[in-house]
Amino acid sequence: MAKETYPDNPTFVRAARAKIFTYGGFRLGVFGPGSDIDSLVVVPRWVTRQHYFDHFPSLLQSMAPPGAITDLTPVTDAFVPIIKFEYSGISIDLIFSRVEMGQLPTDTKWNLRDNSVLRGLDEAELRSLNGTRVADEILELVPETKIFKEALRAIKLWAQRRGIYANIMGFPGGVAWAIMVARVCQLYPRATSSVIVSKFFGIMLRWPWPNPVLLKNIEDGPLPVRIWNPKVRRDLSRSRAFPLLTDGVDIQRRQLSPDAHYNPGLPVHVRDIQHHTIILDRHPERAQHGV
């Protein structure tokens, strides 16, 4: 693509590069057998989304051993445009975003944490970057990453076994559960993972919804991106039953649809949390072995 865009500039072509970041459970370190790998490819500004879908599928096939990539499916009209495929039986979701740079830095420590990388991007690109930015921020904001990961593994397993895990089904997804566990870790910075699991159910059951779960204060930020702030927009607190804010410059909101419940005002997963809070109140030793 660099050769097509700058055919008379071989130095520029040689310096062209993209970078791959991960997000979701893989980035948070809570993946397991059967988990997919959520990945983000970041490119300079002269590479467009159309370039990505026109050239990247064939590029992937050419770089992989014959037959290693199967079920390769570009989804151009998704909420976050994505290429889905399996590599040697491992499911990979690959999303795309450009940044407003002529060339990406050579520094291996360069990341997406700086809000300046959001400048000049459209909504789809902002959503694409947000996954990696959120995962990095969660790991930065928890007191002990090892304790957080152990507790999150337990809570994810519990939610999956209870059938209340997946955004597509109207339940909290992986990042939403991670934010809730991270908040409990902040409240009990010296606790063990088993204590975090035990405290999680009581805290989330008694959380004053629809007040959002926050890992840090809401930031206005220097960029013209939409901020989820119910103090400014009163309609937000009324229209969201279960808000969880990701990072300071919040592009995506993780929340349960207000109409997903057994009883009015009582979401399905909150009833499950209530049930397991009662169990742990009676049998606190169960938190040490999973719930």
pLDDT in tens, 205-217: 888 877 888 888 7
> What's the pLDDT at 155?
94
Measuring CA to CA, how many Å separate 216 from each of 54, 172, 183, 223, 250?
A: 40, 20, 9, 18, 11
Extract the residue ranges of the chain whose pLDDT is less than 70. 1-3, 5, 219-291
Identical fold for domains 2-139 and 142-288, yes or no, is no
> What's the pLDDT at 259?
33
- Which fold is adopted by the domain 2-139? Beta Polymerase; domain 2 (3.30.460)
Residue length of the chain = 291
> What's the pLDDT at 273?
59
> What's the pLDDT at 1?
66
Token digits of residue 211: 């007040």
> What's the pLDDT at 254?
43
Predicted structure pTM score = 0.80
- Which fold is adopted by the domain 142-288? Poly(a)-polymerase, middle domain (1.10.1410)
Backbone angles phi, psi at 43, to 5 degrees: -130, 165
> What's the pLDDT at 255?
44
With CA atoms as reference, report the closest residue to 28 among 236, 233, 187, 179: 179
Sign of CA dihedral 161, 156, 26, 226: positive
Distance separating alpha carbons of residues 246 and 221, to the nearest angstrom: 14
In the chain, where are the structural domains located? Answer: 2-139, 142-288
Interval 249-287: pLDDT, tens: 444 444 443 333 333 334 545 556 555 555 555 555 554
Distance separating alpha carbons of residues 256 and 261, to the nearest angstrom: 9
Distance separating alpha carbons of residues 111 and 249, to the nearest angstrom: 16
Distance separating alpha carbons of residues 242 and 256, to the nearest angstrom: 5
DSSP 107: -
> What's the pLDDT at 166?
81
> What's the pLDDT at 282?
52
